[in-house]
Amino acid sequence: MILKKNIREYANDFFNLMFPRVCINCRTILVYQEEHLCTACRLSIPKTGFHLKKDNPLFQKFVSEPKVKEVATYMHFNKFGIAQKIIHELKYNNRPEIGIMMGRWYAQELKEAKWNFDMIISVPLHPSKLKKRGYNQSDQIALGISEVLGIPVEKDIASRIRKTTTQTKKSKVQRWQNLDSVYQINKPEQIEGKNLLIVDDVLTTGATIGQLVSEISKFPVNNIFIATIAAGQ
């Protein structure tokens, strides 16, 4: 048993020597126990602290939804900043494990907020995009949160039934129009009377999550909480 362990460790050391792991942000070589980000870059993440500030700018985007009780994000999204690099790696470079890592990190902070929810729902992708990417990045974040908090993720509650054009460069009104009637709630009986946490990767205008919240709110759910990994202006 010890021999096998030593062989495995030597193999890992050799692999890392030949193909060193580098930090997503600064590209320096990662050392033992660093995961995707070096310690210096992890400490430089522009955290928002919004989970401890109820009346924050993100919550204001959902004031018309009475069932939404809390809205927060882990870090500020700035062009060319660390948050953009993390999200890019997660979504476009086939690295779903980054979503799980970020979910775990954020869950540790959400413990401080003491939000009372008993089910996690991730914002679904359209089947064509899911097939192309191979995974839903929001699922991965939700799984990381679930792992730390011990609250289940329910993936089949909602689905995306209409394919839309990219939200990039659209105005706030155009984003909402683009997402009209895009989601469907498949199992309303499972969310009845529940407190839900809705998870996504990035929140900008709130249009994407807002449309899902609107569909969910048609059913007798209790409270809705929203958490994302990054938020833009």
pLDDT, tens only, 36-51: 999 999 999 999 999 9
Residue 190 CB neighbours (<10 A): 14
What does pLDDT average to over the chain? 89
Q: Is residue 13's pLDDT more than 60?
A: no
Residue 72, beta-bridge partner list: 227
Residue 139 contacts residue 122 (beta carbons within 8 Å): yes
Neighbouring residues of 137: CB distance < 8 A, sequence distance ≥ 6: 90, 91, 96, 99, 201
Q: Is residue 19's pLDDT more than 80?
A: no
Distance CA 197, CA 149 (A): 12
Token reading at 224: 């809705």
Give the β-pairing of 119-122 and 68-76. unpaired
